[in-house]
Amino acid sequence: SKEIYAEVKKLSAELLQHGHQYDSSWITRPLNKDETVESALCGHSERLAIAWNFVANPNASRIQLTNNLRLCGDCHRATKLIAAIRKCKIIVRDANRIHHFTTDGKCSCNDYF
């Protein structure tokens, strides 16, 4: 658990360094006093699963996830950027479609999710 959250922090720092801005409109509940927009969005299952994959295999060239919910817009943008930064293809099956995030920072859904 500690390694996963450390990797999430590392990913978050990389995202911010590459211009990502967290979108609070995707948070659908009130934040607790000790929470930030960043901590709430970085706690989404997709990001934790991506972080776990990088902990288990730091040189991963392909990651595949299954999500029983829809990807939120912030996770979609972040995953595109993570794929580009880490040069890793990421495939996410959500409730509506299968997203193929490529190493050039694009998604197969053409941002129609």
Distance between CA 31 and CA 33 in Å, rounded? 7
Average pLDDT rounded to a whole number, residues 32-50 = 92
For residue 81, the tally of other CB atoms under 10 A from its CB is 18
Distance between CA 24 and CA 83 in Å, rounded? 22
- The Cα-based distances of 8 to 55, 63, 113 in angstroms read 10, 15, 24
pLDDT per residue over 53-80, tens digit each? 999 999 999 999 999 989 999 999 999 9
pLDDT range class, residue 17, cuts 50, 70, 90: very high
pLDDT range class, residue 107, cuts 50, 70, 90: very high
Return the pLDDT at 64: 96
Return the pLDDT at 28: 86
Return the pLDDT at 18: 96
Distance between CA 36 and CA 104 in Å, rounded? 29
Domain boundaries, the chain: 1-107
| Secondary structure (DSSP) of 9-32 | HHHHHHHHHTT----GGG--SPPP
Return the pLDDT at 94: 92
Q: Are strands 62-66 and 89-93 parallel, antiparallel or unpaired?
A: parallel
